[in-house]
Amino acid sequence: MRPRLQHHILGFAALFLAIASCSPAGPTPQAGGGIGGTGSVATVSSGPVTKFGSVFVSGTEYDNTNTLYCIDHEACTTENRLKIGMIVLVNGTRTVEYGSNKTLTQVAHTITYEETVEGVVQSVAADGLSLVVLGQVVSVNLKTEIDPSIQGTTLHTLDPAKVANSLVEISGFVTGDGTILATLIQPHTGAPHYEIEGVIRNHDRTAKTFAIGSLVVDYSRPTTDLSQMPSPANQTWDGLIVFALGDQWSQGGPGPNGARMNATSVKPKALGVSDVEDTEVEDFVTWVNGPGDFFLNNVHVQTNSGTVFEGGTLGDILVGSHLNVSGPLVGGIVTATKVDFESETELQANVAAVDPTANTLTLAGLSGLTIEFDSQTALSGKGTPRRVSDLRSGDHLQIHGQLHGGHAIRAKEVERSDPSSQVQVQSYVTNVSNPWLVLLGSTIDTSAIPESGFHGRNGILGRSNFFAELSVGMTVVLRGTYQDNTVAWTSASRND
């Protein structure tokens, strides 16, 4: 078990109370309010901005008529400068109907935003689907919002020529050690500062350094603000997810993506409160203590017999799972009333057949998998399709969705382009035994992939190293070409 979970969490609960005094405070329930439903219930939520009109966070609508916005270390104002894809912290209230506890309105009193990473792009993949900033590998998917000035051939890819060596701001989810899934990428304007959210490892209390991915953070200057951190003289910080802000960075450090940063401040990521009646958090599972006891980023979550699961089951909660959890926060622990699985399954392939009546289709080379559409599926791309019946056999699709039932994907976003022989599958592994991988309900033989085709976060791994530490729950990306009614797999990547 990681030291953070053995020794730190109880101490951090008290620490988070201190953080609350430094963060925009959420309102307390009004007299007569609370569970009884006679007033307003205090709420805290964390997730990406998904829509405007009012403000939607992880799909939940908030009245922002009188909201105070606290954007990236600047003074809080009433000016709404949020963008789709920004991951924010909302303090507010839920107005409930007397007796039934039915939600009437959700009101945002303060919305706080901090970048996940800001820095100079060290490298960018030729396909525009990943980049390296401050020693972190940042992935792009169909949900990533990319500023039009740096978009590549599609809305959800980067133009390597425009992005290389530029200064960018990124909002996203920390999915592992040195890995981030971007929800928003945009150029930085104005005076640069350097910022990173990630998991601390290799904390050296004597040298006053620690690593986040391939970035070495130096906090040795007397002026570095560590006021919200536990005393380094008493305990290690390894395993804690923090925000580190710096004023200087340089290339160099462990691995090909190595970098160093001089920190001006370091603080734990937190909700800012330890007790509130309604909490909603969208993030990735970073640690599992046991069935129904896990962490979303730094937030401790526990389930019970009354927890409702949507899109998965208790046994599907694994490190790397993307979840939306809601429930009361008591003593720093969220008791989940609902766990919604936000799978990061992605596919690229040509359409094999379309069934407009059933609102489904199948893909060439992946015939055992059914793609399901509903009223929430967003279609885009060539020809501006609006429904399943607009799609044709041979269309090349990029699909982002959620696996359910073992052999079906509930599509969330679908983008159409010209036919292509390229096939790509990204999902978590449900079984593994070299050379076989099981994902999306299909058993895939990787024996034809050459040694140079097995990749990790820092480059070529080779077959034996690729499979050596690969386990159930880890995400794998498989790429190949469709020919002669089958897929010839050419590469397999993992970013853990």
Residue with the bigger pLDDT between 290 and 10: it is 290
Measured distance CA(184)–CA(178) in Å, rounded = 17
69 token code pair: 């916005």
Task: State residue 405's pLDDT score.
Answer: 60
DSSP letter (8 states) at residue 13: H
> 112 and 89 in contact (C-beta within 8 Å)?
yes
Mean pLDDT of 55-84: 92
Strand ranges, E, within 342-421: 345-355, 360-363, 366-372, 378-381, 396-404, 408-417
Q: The tokens 């970073």 sit on which residue?
A: 286
Is the pLDDT score of 18 beyond 60? no
**Percentage, residues of the chain above pLDDT 90:** 58
Mean pLDDT of 277-281: 93
H or E element at residue 242: strand 241-251
Task: State residue 27's pLDDT score.
Answer: 36
The residue among 215, 36, 131, 86 whose CA lies nearest residue 495 is 131
Is the pLDDT score of 33 beyond 60? no
Measured distance CA(170)–CA(188) in Å, rounded = 9
Measured distance CA(447)–CA(467) in Å, rounded = 12
DSSP symbols for 245-291 = EEEEEEE-SSSTT-EEEEEEEEEE---S-S-EEEEEEEEEEEEEEET
Quickly count: other Cβ atoms within 10 Å of residue 313's Cβ: 9
468 token code pair: 């050596």
3-state SS class at 389: helix
Task: State residue 98's pLDDT score.
Answer: 65
Name every residue whose Cβ is closer than 8 Å to that of residue 373 and which is 6 or more positions away in sequence.
359, 360, 361, 387, 388, 411, 414
- Tell me which architecture the domain covering 117-187 has in CATH: Beta Barrel (2.40)
The residue among 30, 14, 194 whose CA lies nearest residue 117 is 194
DSSP percent split of the chain into helix, strand, coil, nearest 5: 10, 50, 40
Q: Which amino acid is at 296?
A: L
Residue 23: pLDDT band with limits 50, 70, 90: very low
pLDDT, tens only, 469-483: 787 667 799 999 998
Residue 344: pLDDT band with limits 50, 70, 90: low
Task: State residue 404's pLDDT score.
Answer: 67
Q: What is the C-alpha end-to-end distance of the chain, expressed in Å? A: 18
Phi, psi torsion values for 493, nearest 5 degrees: -130, 150
pLDDT, tens only, 85-123: 999 999 999 887 766 667 778 899 999 999 999 999 999
Domain boundaries, the chain: 31-113, 117-187, 275-341, 345-420, 425-494
What does the mean pLDDT of the chain come to? 85
* 214, 151, 284, 91: CA torsion to nearest 10: 110
Is the pLDDT score of 254 beyond 50? yes
State the Cα angle at 359 between 354 and 363, rounded to 5°.
40
Exposed/middle/buried for residue 483 (C-beta within 10 Å: 0-12, 13-18, 19+): exposed
27 preceded by a cis bond (ω within 30 of 0): no
pLDDT, tens only, 185-206: 999 988 888 999 999 999 999 9
Which of these CATH numbers, 2.40.50, 1.10.357, 1.10.287, 3.20.20, describes 425-494?
2.40.50
Radius of gyration of the chain (CA): 23
Strand ranges, E, within 82-146: 87-96, 103-113, 117-124, 130-133, 136-139, 145-146
Residue 166: pLDDT band with limits 50, 70, 90: very high
pLDDT, tens only, 371-383: 999 887 889 899 9
Which of these CATH numbers, 2.40.50.320, 2.60.40.10, 3.30.420.10, 1.10.3720.10, describes 345-420?
2.40.50.320
342 token code pair: 């936000």
- Spell out the SS3 assignment of 470-484: CCCCCEEEEEEEEEC
Is the pLDDT score of 161 beyond 60? yes
> 162 and 87 in contact (C-beta within 8 Å)?
no
> 82 and 55 in contact (C-beta within 8 Å)?
yes
Name every residue whose Cβ is closer than 8 Å to that of residue 96 and which is 6 or more positions away in sequence.
33, 37, 38, 39, 40, 41, 102, 103, 104
**Percentage, residues of the chain above pLDDT 70:** 88
Residue with the bigger pLDDT between 17 and 488: it is 488
Task: State residue 34's pLDDT score.
Answer: 40
Is the pLDDT score of 419 beyond 90? no
Same fold, 345-420 and 425-494: yes
Is the pLDDT score of 50 beyond 80? yes
> 377 and 414 in contact (C-beta within 8 Å)?
yes
Task: State residue 40's pLDDT score.
Answer: 80
Task: State residue 191's pLDDT score.
Answer: 82
Which of these CATH numbers, 3.10.20.30, 1.10.8.50, 3.30.413.10, 2.40.50.320, describes 275-341?
2.40.50.320
Exposed/middle/buried for residue 98 (C-beta within 10 Å: 0-12, 13-18, 19+): exposed
Using the CB atoms, write b or e for 358-393: b if 16+ within 10 Å: ebbbbbbbbeebbbbbeeebebbbeeebeebeebee
3-state SS class at 293: strand
pLDDT, tens only, 302-343: 999 999 988 778 887 888 788 999 999 999 999 999 998 876
State the Cα angle at 300 between 231 and 23, rounded to 5°.
60
* Maximum pairwise Cα distance, the chain: 70
Measured distance CA(423)–CA(443) in Å, rounded = 16
Is the pLDDT score of 457 beyond 90? no
Is the pLDDT score of 36 beyond 50? no
Mean pLDDT of 125-139: 90
Measured distance CA(72)–CA(346) in Å, rounded = 31
Task: State residue 21's pLDDT score.
Answer: 36
